[in-house]
Structure 1
Amino acid sequence: MAPRDKRQLRTRKKERTRNTIIEEAKKLFDQKPYDSVSLEDIAEAAFVSRQTLYNYFNNKEAVHYAVGNKLYREENEEVEKILDMDLTGKEQALRICERIFTNSVENPIILKVVRDLWINLNNKDFSSAGTYNHISETIGREKMDELINTSGALEEFDFEEYFDDPNLMEEYLQFIRYNNLWGRAIQKGKQDGSIKNQLPDMHIMQFMSFLAMGTVFEIMRRQTPLDRIGMSSEVFSVYVIKLLSRFLDDEA
Protein backbone atom coordinates (compact mmCIF):
# COMPACT_ATOMS: atom_id res chain seq x y z
CA MET A 1 0.00 0.00 0.00
CA ALA A 2 1.32 3.43 -0.96
CA PRO A 3 2.22 5.84 1.90
CA ARG A 4 -0.57 8.21 0.85
CA ASP A 5 -3.13 5.42 0.97
CA LYS A 6 -1.88 4.39 4.42
CA ARG A 7 -2.30 7.95 5.70
CA GLN A 8 -5.82 8.13 4.31
CA LEU A 9 -6.67 4.79 5.89
CA ARG A 10 -5.36 5.96 9.28
CA THR A 11 -7.33 9.19 8.98
CA ARG A 12 -10.55 7.34 8.19
CA LYS A 13 -9.95 4.92 11.06
CA LYS A 14 -9.39 7.79 13.50
CA GLU A 15 -12.54 9.49 12.30
CA ARG A 16 -14.55 6.30 12.75
CA THR A 17 -13.19 5.83 16.26
CA ARG A 18 -13.96 9.43 17.20
CA ASN A 19 -17.50 9.15 15.81
CA THR A 20 -18.04 5.91 17.71
CA ILE A 21 -16.95 7.52 20.98
CA ILE A 22 -19.30 10.46 20.40
CA GLU A 23 -22.24 8.25 19.45
CA GLU A 24 -21.84 5.98 22.47
CA ALA A 25 -21.37 8.97 24.77
CA LYS A 26 -24.56 10.48 23.36
CA LYS A 27 -26.48 7.34 24.35
CA LEU A 28 -25.03 7.42 27.86
CA PHE A 29 -25.75 11.13 28.40
CA ASP A 30 -29.28 10.50 27.17
CA GLN A 31 -29.81 7.65 29.62
CA LYS A 32 -28.16 9.10 32.72
CA PRO A 33 -27.34 12.49 34.29
CA TYR A 34 -24.04 14.01 33.23
CA ASP A 35 -22.41 13.45 36.64
CA SER A 36 -23.34 9.76 36.55
CA VAL A 37 -21.42 9.11 33.34
CA SER A 38 -17.68 8.45 33.67
CA LEU A 39 -14.92 8.31 31.11
CA GLU A 40 -14.64 4.61 31.89
CA ASP A 41 -18.31 4.19 30.97
CA ILE A 42 -17.76 5.95 27.65
CA ALA A 43 -14.60 3.99 26.83
CA GLU A 44 -16.29 0.69 27.66
CA ALA A 45 -19.36 1.51 25.56
CA ALA A 46 -17.17 2.51 22.61
CA PHE A 47 -14.94 -0.58 23.00
CA VAL A 48 -11.77 1.49 23.34
CA SER A 49 -9.23 1.84 26.12
CA ARG A 50 -9.22 4.90 28.33
CA GLN A 51 -5.88 5.90 26.81
CA THR A 52 -7.37 5.72 23.33
CA LEU A 53 -10.23 7.92 24.48
CA TYR A 54 -7.70 10.45 25.81
CA ASN A 55 -6.11 10.54 22.36
CA TYR A 56 -9.32 12.18 21.15
CA PHE A 57 -10.68 14.04 24.18
CA ASN A 58 -8.89 15.57 27.17
CA ASN A 59 -11.77 15.05 29.59
CA LYS A 60 -15.46 14.23 29.92
CA GLU A 61 -16.42 17.85 29.29
CA ALA A 62 -14.81 17.72 25.86
CA VAL A 63 -16.76 14.57 24.99
CA HIS A 64 -19.98 16.21 26.13
CA TYR A 65 -19.31 19.30 23.99
CA ALA A 66 -18.59 17.05 21.01
CA VAL A 67 -21.97 15.37 21.51
CA GLY A 68 -23.58 18.81 21.50
CA ASN A 69 -21.74 19.69 18.29
CA LYS A 70 -23.01 16.55 16.61
CA LEU A 71 -26.61 17.28 17.58
CA TYR A 72 -26.44 20.92 16.48
CA ARG A 73 -24.83 19.94 13.19
CA GLU A 74 -27.61 17.47 12.50
CA GLU A 75 -30.26 20.03 13.40
CA ASN A 76 -28.67 22.71 11.23
CA GLU A 77 -28.56 20.33 8.29
CA GLU A 78 -32.27 19.62 8.69
CA VAL A 79 -33.12 23.31 9.00
CA GLU A 80 -31.15 24.03 5.83
CA LYS A 81 -33.27 21.44 4.04
CA ILE A 82 -36.42 23.24 5.21
CA LEU A 83 -35.06 26.56 3.95
CA ASP A 84 -34.47 24.98 0.54
CA MET A 85 -38.14 23.95 0.28
CA ASP A 86 -40.52 25.93 -1.91
CA LEU A 87 -42.45 27.37 1.03
CA THR A 88 -43.36 30.82 2.27
CA GLY A 89 -41.25 32.26 5.06
CA LYS A 90 -44.07 31.66 7.52
CA GLU A 91 -44.38 28.04 6.47
CA GLN A 92 -40.63 27.56 6.84
CA ALA A 93 -40.60 29.16 10.31
CA LEU A 94 -43.50 26.99 11.47
CA ARG A 95 -41.91 23.87 9.97
CA ILE A 96 -38.71 24.60 11.91
CA CYS A 97 -40.67 25.13 15.11
CA GLU A 98 -42.62 21.92 14.55
CA ARG A 99 -39.34 20.07 14.18
CA ILE A 100 -38.05 21.57 17.44
CA PHE A 101 -41.10 20.38 19.33
CA THR A 102 -41.45 16.88 17.92
CA ASN A 103 -37.72 16.20 17.87
CA SER A 104 -37.30 17.37 21.47
CA VAL A 105 -40.14 15.13 22.62
CA GLU A 106 -38.67 12.13 20.83
CA ASN A 107 -35.03 12.93 21.72
CA PRO A 108 -34.88 14.56 25.17
CA ILE A 109 -31.08 14.74 24.98
CA ILE A 110 -31.52 17.76 22.70
CA LEU A 111 -33.01 19.70 25.59
CA LYS A 112 -30.20 18.54 27.86
CA VAL A 113 -27.64 19.81 25.36
CA VAL A 114 -29.34 23.21 25.08
CA ARG A 115 -29.52 23.53 28.86
CA ASP A 116 -25.98 22.28 29.47
CA LEU A 117 -24.47 24.65 26.90
CA TRP A 118 -25.49 27.66 28.97
CA ILE A 119 -24.58 25.97 32.24
CA ASN A 120 -21.10 25.22 30.91
CA LEU A 121 -20.64 28.77 29.63
CA ASN A 122 -21.77 30.21 32.97
CA ASN A 123 -19.39 27.91 34.82
CA LYS A 124 -16.58 29.43 32.80
CA ASP A 125 -17.87 32.96 33.52
CA PHE A 126 -18.98 33.41 29.90
CA SER A 127 -22.24 35.14 29.06
CA SER A 128 -23.66 34.70 25.56
CA ALA A 129 -22.42 38.15 24.57
CA GLY A 130 -19.09 37.51 26.29
CA THR A 131 -18.59 34.26 24.40
CA TYR A 132 -19.51 35.93 21.12
CA ASN A 133 -16.99 38.71 21.73
CA HIS A 134 -14.31 36.27 22.88
CA ILE A 135 -14.56 34.25 19.67
CA SER A 136 -14.77 37.37 17.52
CA GLU A 137 -11.66 38.88 19.11
CA THR A 138 -9.74 35.61 18.81
CA ILE A 139 -10.38 34.74 15.16
CA GLY A 140 -11.66 38.06 13.81
CA ARG A 141 -15.21 39.21 13.11
CA GLU A 142 -15.00 38.51 9.38
CA LYS A 143 -13.93 34.90 9.93
CA MET A 144 -16.57 34.42 12.59
CA ASP A 145 -19.31 35.67 10.25
CA GLU A 146 -18.05 33.31 7.57
CA LEU A 147 -18.22 30.34 9.95
CA ILE A 148 -21.75 31.20 11.05
CA ASN A 149 -23.17 31.92 7.61
CA THR A 150 -21.43 29.35 5.40
CA SER A 151 -22.68 25.77 5.26
CA GLY A 152 -19.98 23.31 6.36
CA ALA A 153 -17.50 25.99 7.44
CA LEU A 154 -17.75 25.23 11.16
CA GLU A 155 -16.99 21.56 10.59
CA GLU A 156 -13.84 22.37 8.64
CA PHE A 157 -12.44 25.05 10.95
CA ASP A 158 -9.61 24.05 13.33
CA PHE A 159 -10.91 25.30 16.69
CA GLU A 160 -8.08 23.56 18.56
CA GLU A 161 -5.60 26.00 17.06
CA TYR A 162 -7.28 28.97 18.72
CA PHE A 163 -9.19 27.87 21.83
CA ASP A 164 -8.59 25.98 25.07
CA ASP A 165 -12.16 24.65 24.86
CA PRO A 166 -12.49 24.07 21.11
CA ASN A 167 -15.55 21.81 21.28
CA LEU A 168 -17.42 24.25 23.52
CA MET A 169 -16.65 27.19 21.24
CA GLU A 170 -17.79 25.24 18.19
CA GLU A 171 -20.96 24.15 19.98
CA TYR A 172 -21.73 27.78 20.78
CA LEU A 173 -21.25 28.84 17.16
CA GLN A 174 -23.39 25.93 15.96
CA PHE A 175 -26.12 27.32 18.22
CA ILE A 176 -25.65 30.81 16.77
CA ARG A 177 -25.81 29.38 13.26
CA TYR A 178 -29.05 27.62 14.17
CA ASN A 179 -30.57 30.93 15.24
CA ASN A 180 -29.37 32.62 12.06
CA LEU A 181 -30.92 29.93 9.88
CA TRP A 182 -34.23 30.35 11.65
CA GLY A 183 -33.89 34.11 11.25
CA ARG A 184 -33.68 33.67 7.48
CA ALA A 185 -37.13 32.10 7.43
CA ILE A 186 -38.55 34.98 9.46
CA GLN A 187 -36.90 37.56 7.20
CA LYS A 188 -38.28 35.79 4.15
CA GLY A 189 -41.76 35.74 5.71
CA LYS A 190 -41.71 39.48 6.25
CA GLN A 191 -40.50 40.05 2.71
CA ASP A 192 -43.08 37.80 1.05
CA GLY A 193 -45.86 39.08 3.31
CA SER A 194 -46.66 35.73 4.92
CA ILE A 195 -45.52 37.00 8.35
CA LYS A 196 -47.49 40.03 9.47
CA ASN A 197 -45.98 40.37 12.95
CA GLN A 198 -43.63 43.37 12.99
CA LEU A 199 -41.74 42.57 16.16
CA PRO A 200 -37.94 42.37 15.68
CA ASP A 201 -36.89 39.09 14.08
CA MET A 202 -34.97 38.00 17.18
CA HIS A 203 -38.01 38.56 19.40
CA ILE A 204 -40.21 36.51 17.08
CA MET A 205 -37.70 33.67 17.03
CA GLN A 206 -37.26 33.72 20.80
CA PHE A 207 -41.00 33.65 21.42
CA MET A 208 -41.48 30.71 19.06
CA SER A 209 -38.55 28.86 20.59
CA PHE A 210 -39.67 29.55 24.16
CA LEU A 211 -43.18 28.31 23.45
CA ALA A 212 -42.09 25.12 21.70
CA MET A 213 -39.10 24.17 23.83
CA GLY A 214 -40.52 25.62 27.03
CA THR A 215 -43.55 23.38 26.70
CA VAL A 216 -41.35 20.33 26.31
CA PHE A 217 -39.14 21.40 29.23
CA GLU A 218 -42.22 21.73 31.42
CA ILE A 219 -43.49 18.30 30.44
CA MET A 220 -40.10 16.80 31.32
CA ARG A 221 -39.80 18.76 34.57
CA ARG A 222 -43.17 17.57 35.79
CA GLN A 223 -42.51 14.09 34.39
CA THR A 224 -45.95 14.18 32.84
CA PRO A 225 -46.00 12.17 29.62
CA LEU A 226 -48.41 13.40 26.98
CA ASP A 227 -50.38 10.19 27.08
CA ARG A 228 -51.35 10.97 30.69
CA ILE A 229 -53.41 13.89 29.41
CA GLY A 230 -54.76 11.79 26.59
CA MET A 231 -52.91 13.52 23.79
CA SER A 232 -50.22 12.31 21.43
CA SER A 233 -47.15 14.44 20.76
CA GLU A 234 -48.34 14.84 17.16
CA VAL A 235 -51.69 16.30 18.22
CA PHE A 236 -50.04 18.48 20.86
CA SER A 237 -47.65 19.78 18.23
CA VAL A 238 -50.57 20.74 15.97
CA TYR A 239 -52.03 22.95 18.71
CA VAL A 240 -48.66 24.58 19.41
CA ILE A 241 -48.18 25.34 15.72
CA LYS A 242 -51.69 26.82 15.49
CA LEU A 243 -50.88 29.19 18.34
CA LEU A 244 -47.63 30.21 16.69
CA SER A 245 -49.35 30.70 13.35
CA ARG A 246 -51.75 33.18 14.95
CA PHE A 247 -48.78 34.91 16.58
CA LEU A 248 -47.08 35.35 13.20
CA ASP A 249 -50.33 36.77 11.76
CA ASP A 250 -50.64 39.36 14.53
CA GLU A 251 -50.07 42.83 13.07
CA ALA A 252 -50.28 44.62 16.43
Structure 2
Amino acid sequence: MKVAITGKGGVGKTTLTSMLAYILSKDYNVFAIDADPDMNLATNMGVNNNIKPLSEMKKLIKERTGAEPGSTFGEVFKINPYVSDIPDSYSYKINDNLRLLVMGTIEKGGEGCICPASVFLRALLRHLILKRDEIVILDMEAGIEHLGRRVAESVDLMIIVVEPSLKSINTAKRIKKLAEDIGIKNIEVVLNKISNIYEKKVIEDKLKEIGLDVLGTIPYDKNIIKADMSNTPPYKYKSQSFSAVKKIAEKIKNRY
Protein backbone atom coordinates (compact mmCIF):
# COMPACT_ATOMS: atom_id res chain seq x y z
CA MET A 1 0.00 0.00 0.00
CA LYS A 2 1.31 3.43 -1.02
CA VAL A 3 -0.19 6.58 0.53
CA ALA A 4 0.69 10.19 -0.31
CA ILE A 5 -0.30 12.89 2.21
CA THR A 6 -0.49 16.50 1.10
CA GLY A 7 -2.21 19.81 1.82
CA LYS A 8 -1.58 23.49 2.47
CA GLY A 9 1.37 24.31 4.69
CA GLY A 10 0.54 24.16 8.39
CA VAL A 11 -2.59 22.00 8.15
CA GLY A 12 -1.00 19.10 10.04
CA LYS A 13 -0.06 16.68 7.28
CA THR A 14 3.32 15.89 8.86
CA THR A 15 1.64 15.13 12.19
CA LEU A 16 -0.85 12.86 10.42
CA THR A 17 1.99 11.14 8.53
CA SER A 18 3.95 10.40 11.70
CA MET A 19 0.95 9.07 13.63
CA LEU A 20 -0.37 7.02 10.71
CA ALA A 21 3.07 5.50 10.06
CA TYR A 22 3.50 4.64 13.74
CA ILE A 23 0.04 3.05 14.05
CA LEU A 24 0.39 0.98 10.87
CA SER A 25 3.87 -0.17 11.93
CA LYS A 26 2.23 -2.15 14.73
CA ASP A 27 1.09 -4.66 12.09
CA TYR A 28 3.18 -3.95 8.99
CA ASN A 29 6.62 -2.88 7.79
CA VAL A 30 6.38 0.83 7.00
CA PHE A 31 8.58 3.40 5.30
CA ALA A 32 7.78 7.01 6.27
CA ILE A 33 9.16 9.30 3.57
CA ASP A 34 9.78 13.00 4.11
CA ALA A 35 9.31 14.42 0.61
CA ASP A 36 8.40 17.94 1.83
CA PRO A 37 11.01 20.71 1.39
CA ASP A 38 10.34 21.81 5.00
CA MET A 39 11.62 18.42 6.24
CA ASN A 40 9.88 18.28 9.65
CA LEU A 41 8.94 14.59 9.69
CA ALA A 42 12.03 13.49 11.61
CA THR A 43 11.21 15.87 14.47
CA ASN A 44 7.60 14.63 14.49
CA MET A 45 8.89 11.09 14.85
CA GLY A 46 11.12 11.96 17.81
CA VAL A 47 14.41 11.80 15.93
CA ASN A 48 16.77 14.31 17.53
CA ASN A 49 19.76 13.41 15.38
CA ASN A 50 20.49 15.72 12.49
CA ILE A 51 19.56 13.50 9.55
CA LYS A 52 21.30 14.60 6.38
CA PRO A 53 18.78 14.74 3.51
CA LEU A 54 19.59 12.61 0.47
CA SER A 55 19.50 15.70 -1.74
CA GLU A 56 22.57 17.03 0.13
CA MET A 57 24.62 13.85 -0.28
CA LYS A 58 26.69 15.15 -3.18
CA LYS A 59 29.11 12.23 -3.25
CA LEU A 60 26.28 9.70 -3.38
CA ILE A 61 24.43 11.60 -6.11
CA LYS A 62 27.59 11.87 -8.20
CA GLU A 63 28.33 8.17 -7.68
CA ARG A 64 24.84 7.15 -8.86
CA THR A 65 24.24 9.69 -11.64
CA GLY A 66 27.78 10.37 -12.80
CA ALA A 67 27.52 14.13 -12.26
CA GLU A 68 27.76 16.70 -9.48
CA PRO A 69 24.48 18.05 -8.03
CA GLY A 70 23.69 21.33 -9.76
CA SER A 71 24.84 20.12 -13.17
CA THR A 72 22.55 21.10 -16.02
CA PHE A 73 20.73 18.90 -18.50
CA GLY A 74 23.36 19.79 -21.11
CA GLU A 75 25.87 17.74 -19.15
CA VAL A 76 25.89 13.97 -19.43
CA PHE A 77 24.53 11.99 -16.48
CA LYS A 78 22.44 8.87 -15.88
CA ILE A 79 18.71 9.52 -15.99
CA ASN A 80 17.94 6.09 -14.48
CA PRO A 81 20.39 5.81 -11.57
CA TYR A 82 20.64 2.73 -9.36
CA VAL A 83 18.63 3.39 -6.18
CA SER A 84 17.26 0.05 -4.98
CA ASP A 85 19.66 -0.11 -2.03
CA ILE A 86 18.94 3.45 -0.84
CA PRO A 87 15.83 2.82 1.33
CA ASP A 88 17.55 0.17 3.44
CA SER A 89 21.02 1.74 3.53
CA TYR A 90 20.11 5.40 4.13
CA SER A 91 16.92 5.24 6.22
CA TYR A 92 16.67 5.80 9.97
CA LYS A 93 15.20 3.04 12.14
CA ILE A 94 12.34 4.26 14.37
CA ASN A 95 11.29 0.80 15.57
CA ASP A 96 11.51 -2.78 14.30
CA ASN A 97 8.84 -2.18 11.64
CA LEU A 98 9.21 1.54 10.95
CA ARG A 99 11.93 3.37 9.05
CA LEU A 100 12.27 7.05 8.10
CA LEU A 101 13.81 8.36 4.87
CA VAL A 102 14.45 12.09 4.41
CA MET A 103 14.65 13.04 0.74
CA GLY A 104 15.23 16.77 0.96
CA THR A 105 14.76 19.25 -1.87
CA ILE A 106 16.65 20.49 -4.90
CA GLU A 107 14.86 23.83 -4.94
CA LYS A 108 17.88 26.04 -4.34
CA GLY A 109 19.17 29.10 -6.16
CA GLY A 110 20.63 28.23 -9.54
CA GLU A 111 19.34 24.64 -9.66
CA GLY A 112 16.78 23.69 -12.26
CA CYS A 113 14.29 20.87 -12.17
CA ILE A 114 16.34 18.67 -14.51
CA CYS A 115 19.62 18.01 -12.71
CA PRO A 116 21.37 15.01 -11.11
CA ALA A 117 19.80 15.60 -7.67
CA SER A 118 16.30 15.87 -9.15
CA VAL A 119 16.79 12.77 -11.32
CA PHE A 120 18.12 10.84 -8.32
CA LEU A 121 15.16 11.77 -6.08
CA ARG A 122 12.60 11.04 -8.80
CA ALA A 123 14.16 7.62 -9.42
CA LEU A 124 14.00 6.92 -5.69
CA LEU A 125 10.33 7.90 -5.53
CA ARG A 126 9.58 5.58 -8.45
CA HIS A 127 11.41 2.73 -6.73
CA LEU A 128 9.65 3.27 -3.39
CA ILE A 129 6.19 3.31 -4.94
CA LEU A 130 6.58 0.79 -7.76
CA LYS A 131 9.05 -1.73 -6.34
CA ARG A 132 8.89 -1.87 -2.54
CA ASP A 133 6.57 -4.31 -0.76
CA GLU A 134 6.33 -2.32 2.48
CA ILE A 135 3.66 0.25 3.22
CA VAL A 136 5.06 3.58 2.03
CA ILE A 137 3.65 6.82 3.44
CA LEU A 138 4.83 10.03 1.79
CA ASP A 139 4.71 13.40 3.53
CA MET A 140 4.49 15.64 0.45
CA GLU A 141 4.32 19.29 -0.45
CA ALA A 142 1.15 20.69 -2.02
CA GLY A 143 2.59 20.59 -5.54
CA ILE A 144 2.56 16.96 -6.68
CA GLU A 145 3.55 17.15 -10.35
CA HIS A 146 7.01 15.75 -9.57
CA LEU A 147 5.44 12.37 -8.83
CA GLY A 148 5.13 11.74 -12.58
CA ARG A 149 2.24 9.93 -14.26
CA ARG A 150 3.54 6.35 -13.94
CA VAL A 151 4.33 6.78 -10.25
CA ALA A 152 1.08 8.64 -9.52
CA GLU A 153 -1.01 5.89 -11.09
CA SER A 154 0.52 3.44 -8.59
CA VAL A 155 -0.34 5.50 -5.49
CA ASP A 156 -3.18 3.66 -3.76
CA LEU A 157 -4.47 6.71 -1.91
CA MET A 158 -3.83 10.43 -1.78
CA ILE A 159 -4.93 12.11 1.43
CA ILE A 160 -5.45 15.87 1.38
CA VAL A 161 -5.36 17.33 4.89
CA VAL A 162 -7.79 20.24 5.32
CA GLU A 163 -8.12 22.61 8.29
CA PRO A 164 -10.99 25.05 8.96
CA SER A 165 -10.00 27.76 6.47
CA LEU A 166 -11.06 28.78 2.98
CA LYS A 167 -7.41 28.81 1.86
CA SER A 168 -7.05 25.19 2.89
CA ILE A 169 -10.20 24.20 0.99
CA ASN A 170 -9.05 26.08 -2.12
CA THR A 171 -5.68 24.32 -1.93
CA ALA A 172 -7.50 20.99 -1.70
CA LYS A 173 -9.42 21.85 -4.86
CA ARG A 174 -6.19 22.61 -6.76
CA ILE A 175 -4.49 19.46 -5.49
CA LYS A 176 -7.47 17.35 -6.53
CA LYS A 177 -7.21 18.63 -10.11
CA LEU A 178 -3.43 18.08 -10.23
CA ALA A 179 -3.80 14.57 -8.80
CA GLU A 180 -6.50 13.61 -11.29
CA ASP A 181 -4.47 15.05 -14.17
CA ILE A 182 -1.59 12.68 -13.45
CA GLY A 183 -3.72 9.62 -12.85
CA ILE A 184 -4.34 9.33 -9.11
CA LYS A 185 -7.71 7.63 -8.74
CA ASN A 186 -8.34 7.55 -4.98
CA ILE A 187 -8.33 11.01 -3.39
CA GLU A 188 -9.84 11.58 0.05
CA VAL A 189 -9.73 14.27 2.72
CA VAL A 190 -8.83 14.18 6.39
CA LEU A 191 -10.27 17.10 8.35
CA ASN A 192 -7.90 18.38 11.03
CA LYS A 193 -8.16 20.82 13.96
CA ILE A 194 -11.96 20.58 14.02
CA SER A 195 -13.54 22.25 17.07
CA ASN A 196 -17.23 21.40 16.75
CA ILE A 197 -19.91 19.61 14.71
CA TYR A 198 -21.07 22.81 12.97
CA GLU A 199 -17.54 23.56 11.75
CA LYS A 200 -17.21 19.99 10.47
CA LYS A 201 -20.55 20.20 8.60
CA VAL A 202 -19.69 23.48 6.89
CA ILE A 203 -16.35 22.17 5.62
CA GLU A 204 -17.84 18.84 4.53
CA ASP A 205 -20.48 20.69 2.49
CA LYS A 206 -17.84 22.80 0.74
CA LEU A 207 -15.72 19.74 -0.01
CA LYS A 208 -18.75 17.90 -1.37
CA GLU A 209 -19.25 20.74 -3.85
CA ILE A 210 -15.80 20.06 -5.32
CA GLY A 211 -16.22 16.29 -5.27
CA LEU A 212 -14.08 15.32 -2.28
CA ASP A 213 -15.08 12.73 0.31
CA VAL A 214 -13.97 12.83 3.95
CA LEU A 215 -11.98 9.82 5.15
CA GLY A 216 -11.88 10.95 8.77
CA THR A 217 -11.87 13.85 11.21
CA ILE A 218 -9.20 14.80 13.76
CA PRO A 219 -10.36 17.15 16.53
CA TYR A 220 -8.49 20.25 17.64
CA ASP A 221 -6.03 18.92 20.21
CA LYS A 222 -3.83 20.97 22.56
CA ASN A 223 -1.68 17.89 23.08
CA ILE A 224 -0.33 18.30 19.55
CA ILE A 225 1.00 21.74 20.53
CA LYS A 226 2.48 20.28 23.73
CA ALA A 227 4.15 17.52 21.72
CA ASP A 228 5.66 20.05 19.33
CA MET A 229 6.95 22.34 22.10
CA SER A 230 8.47 19.43 24.03
CA ASN A 231 9.94 17.78 20.91
CA THR A 232 7.88 14.66 21.62
CA PRO A 233 6.32 12.48 18.90
CA PRO A 234 2.56 13.24 18.84
CA TYR A 235 1.73 9.53 18.88
CA LYS A 236 3.13 9.30 22.41
CA TYR A 237 0.16 11.35 23.58
CA LYS A 238 -2.72 8.84 23.57
CA SER A 239 -5.16 11.67 23.05
CA GLN A 240 -8.32 12.33 21.02
CA SER A 241 -6.26 12.98 17.90
CA PHE A 242 -4.41 9.67 18.26
CA SER A 243 -7.72 7.81 18.60
CA ALA A 244 -9.04 9.59 15.50
CA VAL A 245 -5.98 8.62 13.45
CA LYS A 246 -6.36 4.99 14.60
CA LYS A 247 -9.87 4.99 13.10
CA ILE A 248 -8.48 6.47 9.87
CA ALA A 249 -5.78 3.78 9.78
CA GLU A 250 -8.43 1.06 10.14
CA LYS A 251 -10.42 2.50 7.24
CA ILE A 252 -7.30 2.60 5.06
CA LYS A 253 -6.43 -1.02 5.91
CA ASN A 254 -9.96 -2.16 5.08
CA ARG A 255 -10.26 -0.22 1.83
CA TYR A 256 -6.78 -0.35 0.33
TM-score, normalization by structure 1: 0.28
More strand by share: 2
Give the number of the structure whose residues are more often helix, by fraction.
1
Structure showing greater radius of gyration is 1
RCO higher in structure (CA 8 A, sep ≥6): 2
